[in-house]
Amino acid sequence: METAEKRQRGRPRAFHGPAEAASVQSLDRALRILSIVAEGSGLSLSEIAAQSGLPASTAYRMLTTLENHGMVEF
């Protein structure tokens, strides 16, 4: 009878890859949008999307979520 490998639980003990590989993409995107909004005033959705490199639909969803949490007024 074969023995099964014991599955690890919880967080990894160590991560030795680049920091970018351990980041959360949605959080990176939201922080990028917050930085853009903080630097400019009265930017349109199209301008925010262009500066962030995100599609307008993604930028809209991010801005709506940030607004729901009181982080931006959109």
Average pLDDT over residues 22-33: 93
Q: What secondary structure letter does DSSP report for 1?
A: -
Task: Report d(CA 9, CA 7) in Å as an integer.
Answer: 6
Rounded to two decimals, what is the model's pTM? 0.70
- List the domain boundaries for the chain: 25-68
Categorize the per-residue pLDDT at 40 as very low, low, confident or very high, splitting at 50, 70 and 90.
Answer: confident
Q: Helix axis angle, 45-52 relative to 25-39, nearest 10°? A: 120
Tell me, rounded to whole angstroms, the distance of Cα 7 from its chain centroid: 29
Tell me, rounded to whole angstroms, the distance of Cα 66 from its chain centroid: 11
Categorize the per-residue pLDDT at 34 as very low, low, confident or very high, splitting at 50, 70 and 90.
Answer: very high
Categorize the per-residue pLDDT at 7 as very low, low, confident or very high, splitting at 50, 70 and 90.
Answer: confident
Q: How far apart are the first and last CA of the chain?
A: 62
Pick the CATH number of 25-68 from 1.10.8, 1.10.10, 3.40.50, 3.30.310: 1.10.10
- Mean pLDDT, the chain, rounded, equals 87
